[in-house]
Amino acid sequence: MSDARLVVDGRHQMLVDMDLREVPRAAWFDAGEWRRGGAHAIESSGRGEVLIVPHGADMWVLRHYRRGGLVARVIDDHYLWLGAARTRAFREWRLLRKLRAAGLPVPNPVAAHVERKGAVYTADIITSYLRDTRKLSAFIAESRAPSDCWRRVGAMIRAVHDQGVDHPDLTAHNVLLDGGGNCFLVDFDNAHVKPPGDWQRQGMVRFNRSLRKVALETGTAFDAAAWRELEAGYARRR
């Protein structure tokens, strides 16, 4: 990408916006260093720990890529090296840039980092912190999901699908709401751009299943009327 800058420091490679005035350092992606400086972890519905880290007047979110499923018991956070462009961090950084350019409500990607270790690598990504937001799943658990949010959530999912993006973890944990009625979608790890297909319907099925699971786990009732509103928002998005 012409608006991206690659910084190489030994076995570390970092991808940042050309407009970022600072030169990124490998220490930016050291969770232990941030914790010693007062950073704190936030709950993650995905794999591993997510840190909120202060940087000047800004707040960043640092996420280390970890494997899920049974393979995680053997290989926690290492991936096969197939070139920097194909690493999970660089692909997610570029996808977020594309979605931001299209006006979609996703976090701003600050920097992506990979550390090559022979035939494998580890990776991290830093994104902007979405202030005053909470997970949709938290609102559902408290039976406090705003009644007018559902159409906006449906329209947001449709907008992402219209960009050809298949979000592999489309769940209530990765939809955030703020006090102003805005909704955001986060965690695009391993998302892929595809032509229109059945994956769009499957994405909605996945999200419906997530809402039902949250309701079951928190002892709240699945809101069928809310789901109809969400579907209406998805259908009307053009």
Active site residue ranges = 169
3-state secondary structure of 128: strand
Closest to 61 (Cα-Cα) out of 101, 103, 109, 96: 109
Token readout for 149 is 């949010």
Residues 100 and 108 sit within 8 Å (Cβ to Cβ): yes
Element (H, E) at 5: strand 4-9
Helix (H, G, I), strand (E, B), or coil: what is residue 228?
Answer: helix
Do 28 and 111 contact (CB within 8 A), yes or no? yes
Q: What span, in angstroms and rounded, lies between the C-alpha atoms of 93 and 195?
A: 20
Residues contacting 216, CB < 8 A, separation 6+? 222
